[in-house]
Chains A and B, each alone.
Chain A
Amino acid sequence: MIEFWLKYPLDTWREGRLELMSGWPLAWLALAGLLGVVVILLGLVRRGHTLTGLKRITVGALQLAVLALALVLLWQPSLTVNRLQSGSNALAVLVDQSASMAYPDEDLPRFTRARELLDESALSDLARVYDLELFAAADRATAVTSLDELVPAQEESALLASLDQILASSARRALGAVVLISDGRETQPLGDALGRLAAYGIPVHTIGLGRDDVPEDQGLLQVQMPAQLTPGSALRASVMVSHSGAGPARLRISRGDQLVAVQELALGEGTRTLVDVDIPTPEPGHHELTFDLEPRPADVNRRNNTLTRAVEVADRVFRILYIEGEPRWEYKFLRRALTGDEGLALVSLLRVSPNKFYRQGIANAAELEAGFPDSREELFAFDALIIGSIEAASFSTEQLEAVRDFVDHRGGGLLMLGGRSGLGDGGWGNSPLAGVMPSELPSPEAVSFSRERWPVARTARGEVSRELKFSDLGDQDREQWSSLPALADYQRLGPLRPAASTLINVLVDGAELPLLTTQPFGHGKSYVLATGGTWRWQMSLPLDDQRHETFWRQLLRAVAGNARQSFRLEVTTEGDQLSVRAELNSPEFEPVTWAAVTAVLTGEREEEVRLSPVPGAPGAYAARVPLRSAGMHYVQAEVTASTTGPSETPPSALAGAKARTAIFHAPGRAEFASMQRNTALLKEIAAATGGRFWEPDALADLPDAVAGSQAGVTERQVLPVWDAPAWLLLLVLLKSTEWLLRRRWSVI
């Protein structure tokens, strides 16, 4: 419509320069205008007895507008634009050939629709003006002569890389523009690819196929779970389900052929639902866990209903140091709760008398012989620290600062227990550790510890905390918590710190007071358990009741589980690239920047790569390795040698240090992750390069938009606009308005 009245598309008006092409001098235009103004003014004066005031001004303005428009049109205004020269430019058309293009939208596969567009739409007109180059996009762009022989079955669609490949070839010929026909399902990481495309200065027009909403398709978008855990620790996966609208669904998790968990899902309104799934922890070793979302009957794309993750149950043993200032039952029963748990090694230091510490769980006679560690190296050998009923003044300032660094830098866990010499009554609120703790503490002057028995109740946050579950069945879990015997004692805490949360409360005369609080601190985490009286859970419940043991085992795994290892290995996949990243720290957890680290990749083949230091990340080493097959890939990294002189030879604790992990690679998974059109990406590509996003059934303006490209070989064109219907319409409207007004005022 706009193009009819203005003769040319708006883009052309925006790009063009307006000029008067009659060749008559502009002075004549001014003179004619002046003459016209005089005539109009004289006429108004002559009718002064009938036209007065505002009416005279209105009529005068309308007549002046008609005069101005008529005079300008007489001088023949025209648009001067640069347009792609016909016959001198190439136009690349890139058609997505990936498997998602076979998806049927309204019974017509997307790839078939692309064929139709090439044959019947405005695109076919372009072939007469430009040298049309046809490409198919998969993992790269491939030149093709026709789409007839092609089948959309490729499991990679590297759209941006394919565009980059085509645009890079523009140096060899005049490439005016690129047209991308795709559903936007990109399988490669974007990175800075858009910036690179924009730098070519060649517009990419994108035609989006498919639908923004594909209600019949539901699938697993993402499964997040720890890649490594220890025996006995809880395994929870966060599963993101893509769907349309509310309804039930069923998720099955299997390990090999063995079904290990089934979860009924209640999908909510909207298109994304995140659910947590608790999975029985497998035996030590590497395992493949397959998540399978049971498909609905109408769900055509079933490739996104399955997702596999690798998990390693490592033989890692968490070493926990427990220092206690007085013999008490909590100490005894905590130790007993961990008996037989091979994943937790409790080393304890108990002040039995004013002059004697009693050690238990030590690895050798020399361990902790001098008492609580004085050196960071000795302290940092532990993954978690429990401080019981002992005064802060029992520690030196250096020891307390080392404990703070233990949490902050080393990533260790800290658990402070209540007791008559613990927390506030032990002066911890005024110690260097005060800020580490999740709760502020009352001053020692106001005694906060009392031997009174109170029941406990989890908070809403505590109810969803994996470490505080006795059962996976919600009702059973709640019943088991509500039937716990009262604690033997309780110690009052101060206000919660901003980043902290309360997991368990005690019910004191109907009021809820915090019992178990936690907060992250640096790399680690801190907890306060404001009691020394959970032992009543063990003594008051039947022998076969395992709640006391379960509570402590799970809690201590949560406390220690965050602790970093001095040599840590992490692998991720980006498309068909495996990213290997290792972090190496000294026993004091200072980054080691001078080591040589190698990684051996096994799976499809064995390959050794040298990891390079990561700039700006001391102690980090990384490498990328191409992956060529699906399945499990194992990576083992090793510190081999120093890269510098003998003065910096790796200490014995680091030389030969090894770390091993695994990852499951599923190429093509991203291609099927969702069948929705990725309109956002297609618009981003067009916007970044100066092109436009087009709906496939509205391509009429595409040829003109392509012609407006400033890339390639262009020519200057003068487009007359004085004869546009809009001006004639405007003239008619102006005179009609004047006539109607004068008739109304009876001054014709």
Chain B
Amino acid sequence: MPRFLGSRLLFAAFLFAAQLPAWAQGVALADEQDGRTIANPDYGATGPGYEFVFARVAYTTNRLRGGNRRSTLWQTDYPDAEYHFLGGVQRLTRVDAGTDGHILTLTDEELFDYPWIYAVEVGGWHLSWQEAERLREYLLRGGFLMVDDFHGSLEWTGFMSSMSRVFPERPVIDIPPGDPSLHVLYDLDQRIQIPGIMPLRQGRTWEQDGFDPHWRGIYDDEGRLMVAINFNMDLGDAWEHADWPEYPEPMTALAYRFGINYLLYAMTH
């Protein structure tokens, strides 16, 4: 073996070994976002002090988004989206909600203590078979997943490549207008595309080829919505930028209403 080849192999092995702890953890939680420290409270054995905790799912990205285990894609809009949305929940409903969100992975033991979870930019997520199995079990026991902020046919494919691991047998359908999730508190008869801040700055509401918004879902055998899929829209941005004058207030209000309806639906069905 040439000498230089042996050195390269040795170097590659070193890099691999250095990466092992992060991979072993599954998804490494970045501890900073936009220069701010991410505070993820450890509730321990006693659990959170609130009935409702906004639980955000941390995941690995798929090959569309680089296949990076240390990606921070799942942190998009964090933490202002949670902070603003939870304020709305406290103000507009009787739900006993905390002020901070919580971050977890699908393999965490505590997953089942949070019956409502949120995942963003899911066009780029990648769920292992183990994660998919856990999510399937979680949803069928009664958990609820809201996914948001992914656009266009390519990201749909990315989303479904993992989602079909979770529920290969269940179809994804458009939520019908009369579905209770659209009426539990607010009657959400308007189907308006809620844009992200970036396309809005460019004078449009869509991203990639996601011109038309879709409110989709996956239902269980009793006809109960388990997964609320906000496709071709960005509720997270609407929450996050609720205090930005340039973001249209009607969009924020509508995003609040959708989020609250999903939450109340999850707490009643």
Residue of A nearest to B261 (CB): A352
A169 at the interface (CB under 8 A from B): no
B35-64 interface with A by 8 A CB criterion:
45-52
A497 at the interface (CB under 8 A from B): no
B residues near A521, Cβ cutoff 8 Å: none
A328-B267, A335-B268, A356-B185 as given contacts; A453 in contact with B47, CB under 8 Å: yes
B94 near A351: Cβ-Cβ < 8 Å: yes
B94 near A327: Cβ-Cβ < 8 Å: yes
A331 at the interface (CB under 8 A from B): yes
Query: B142's contact among A333, A352, A452, by CB below 8 Å, is which?
Result: A333
| Minimum CB–CB distance for A360 against chain B, Å | 7
B93 near A352: Cβ-Cβ < 8 Å: yes
B residues near A331, Cβ cutoff 8 Å: 267-268
A287 at the interface (CB under 8 A from B): no
Interface residues on A, range: 20 to 34
A residues near B113, Cβ cutoff 8 Å: 488, 536, 539-540
B141 at the interface (CB under 8 A from A): yes
B266 at the interface (CB under 8 A from A): yes
A451 near B47: Cβ-Cβ < 8 Å: yes
B94 near A352: Cβ-Cβ < 8 Å: yes
Residue of A nearest to B136 (CB): A543
Q: Give A539 to B269 CA distance when docked, in angstroms.
A: 14
Q: Give A73 to B113 CA distance when docked, in angstroms.
A: 105
Query: A539's contact among B45, B49, B96, B115, by CB below 8 Å, is which?
Result: B115
B residues near A326, Cβ cutoff 8 Å: 51, 94-96
B124 at the interface (CB under 8 A from A): no
B residues near A539, Cβ cutoff 8 Å: 112-113, 115, 141-143
A358 near B185: Cβ-Cβ < 8 Å: yes
A interface majority secondary structure: mixed
A residues near B48, Cβ cutoff 8 Å: 451
Query: A453's contact among B45, B94, B140, by CB below 8 Å, is which?
Result: B45
B32 at the interface (CB under 8 A from A): no
Query: B93's contact among A327, A329, A336, A452, by CB below 8 Å, is which?
Result: A327
Chain A 630-649, CB-CB to B under 8 Å as 1, else 0, gives 00000000000000000000
| Minimum CB–CB distance for B114 against chain A, Å | 9
Query: B96's contact among A328, A340, A360, A536, by CB below 8 Å, is which?
Result: A328
A358 near B47: Cβ-Cβ < 8 Å: no
B12 at the interface (CB under 8 A from A): no
Chain A 324-363, CB-CB to B under 8 Å as 1, else 0, gives 0111110111011001100000000011111010101000
B residues near A488, Cβ cutoff 8 Å: 47, 113
Residue of A nearest to B89 (CB): A327
B222 at the interface (CB under 8 A from A): yes
A327 near B95: Cβ-Cβ < 8 Å: yes
B264 at the interface (CB under 8 A from A): yes
A329-B51, A543-B140 as given contacts; A535 in contact with B115, CB under 8 Å: yes
A157 at the interface (CB under 8 A from B): no
Residue of A nearest to B115 (CB): A329
Q: Give A404 to B6 CA distance when docked, in angstroms.
A: 86
B46 near A335: Cβ-Cβ < 8 Å: no
Q: Give A504 to B135 CA distance when docked, in angstroms.
A: 33
Query: B137's contact among A325, A332, A543, by CB below 8 Å, is which?
Result: A543
A residues near B47, Cβ cutoff 8 Å: 451-453, 488
A residues near B94, Cβ cutoff 8 Å: 325-327, 351-354
Q: Give A336 to B269 CA distance when docked, in angstroms.
A: 7
B interface majority secondary structure: loop
A residues near B95, Cβ cutoff 8 Å: 326-328
**Could you tell me how many residues of chain B have their Cβ less than 8 Å away from some Cβ of chain A?**
30
Q: Give A360 to B93 CA distance when docked, in angstroms.
A: 18
A residues near B154, Cβ cutoff 8 Å: none
Residue of A nearest to B50 (CB): A451
| Minimum CB–CB distance for A88 against chain B, Å | 90
B268 near A543: Cβ-Cβ < 8 Å: no
B residues near A689, Cβ cutoff 8 Å: none
B92 at the interface (CB under 8 A from A): yes
Residue of A nearest to B95 (CB): A327
Residue of B nearest to A488 (CB): B47
| Minimum CB–CB distance for B117 against chain A, Å | 12
Residue of B nearest to A541 (CB): B141
Q: Give A331 to B143 CA distance when docked, in angstroms.
A: 14
| Minimum CB–CB distance for B99 against chain A, Å | 15
Chain B 146-172, CB-CB to A under 8 Å as 1, else 0, gives 000000000000000000000000000
A420 at the interface (CB under 8 A from B): yes
A541-560 interface with B by 8 A CB criterion:
541-543
A538 at the interface (CB under 8 A from B): yes
Q: Give A451 to B140 CA distance when docked, in angstroms.
A: 25
B184 at the interface (CB under 8 A from A): yes
| Minimum CB–CB distance for A696 against chain B, Å | 74
Query: B185's contact among A336, A352, A360, by CB below 8 Å, is which?
Result: A352
Query: A352's contact among B50, B141, B222, B264, by CB below 8 Å, is which?
Result: B264
Q: Give A352 to B269 CA distance when docked, in angstroms.
A: 13
Q: Give A674 to B194 CA distance when docked, in angstroms.
A: 83
A326-B95, A326-B96, A354-B94 as given contacts; A332 in contact with B142, CB under 8 Å: yes
* Chain A CB within 10 Å, residue with most, of B50, B112, B142, B269: B142
Query: B269's contact among A335, A451, A542, by CB below 8 Å, is which?
Result: A335
B184 near A336: Cβ-Cβ < 8 Å: no
A353-B185, A539-B141, A539-B142 as given contacts; A452 in contact with B46, CB under 8 Å: yes
B93 near A328: Cβ-Cβ < 8 Å: no
Chain A 306-323, CB-CB to B under 8 Å as 1, else 0, gives 000000000000000000
Residue of A nearest to B139 (CB): A543
B84-111 interface with A by 8 A CB criterion:
92-96
B222 near A339: Cβ-Cβ < 8 Å: yes
| Minimum CB–CB distance for B142 against chain A, Å | 6
Residue of B nearest to A535 (CB): B115
A336-B142, A538-B142 as given contacts; A358 in contact with B137, CB under 8 Å: no
| Minimum CB–CB distance for A213 against chain B, Å | 60
B267 near A327: Cβ-Cβ < 8 Å: yes
Q: Give A488 to B92 CA distance when docked, in angstroms.
A: 25
A538 near B185: Cβ-Cβ < 8 Å: no
Q: 21 A-B contacts, Cβ less than 8 Å apart?
A: A326-B96, A327-B52, A328-B95, A328-B96, A331-B267, A335-B268, A336-B269, A339-B222, A353-B92, A353-B94, A353-B185, A354-B94, A358-B184, A358-B185, A360-B268, A451-B46, A538-B142, A539-B115, A539-B141, A541-B141, A542-B137
Q: Which 4 A-B pairs have the closest CB atoms?
A: A327-B267, A326-B94, A539-B112, A328-B51
